[in-house]
Amino acid sequence: MNKNNLVYFENPSMRGLYECMEEWQVVNKRRLLSVSVQQDRDNFCCIALTNPTEVVITSADGHHHAQVSRFGMLAVDAQ
């Protein structure tokens, strides 16, 4: 299943836009990979791509998921 990695921000000031983006990163514990900032009338707007970290490794039928152990070993979960 595909994950979304597109985020939109807007604020009347550039400082406010920065603070919104900074807060989003802290709350979501994700970083922004690429940003495009433009002014749209009285707002500063940003379309951003997030760093896609949601990779799920599964068997071909999708029933078995791979897990990384605390030792860094990749194993298949047979549930």
10-residue stretch averages of pLDDT, the chain, 79 residues long? 82 98 93 93 95 69 77 70
- pLDDT value, residue 63: 75
Could you tell me which of 75, 35, 43, 42 has the C-alpha nearest to residue 57?
Answer: 75
* Rounded-to-integer distance, Cα 11 and Cα 19, Å: 9
Predicted confidence at residue 49, as pLDDT, reads 93
Give the H or E element holding residue 45.
strand 43-50
Residue-level pLDDT at 2? 56
State the residue for tokens 């152990």. Answer: 69
Q: Any residues with CB less than 8 A from the CB of 11 and at least 6 apart, and which?
A: 17, 19, 20, 43, 44
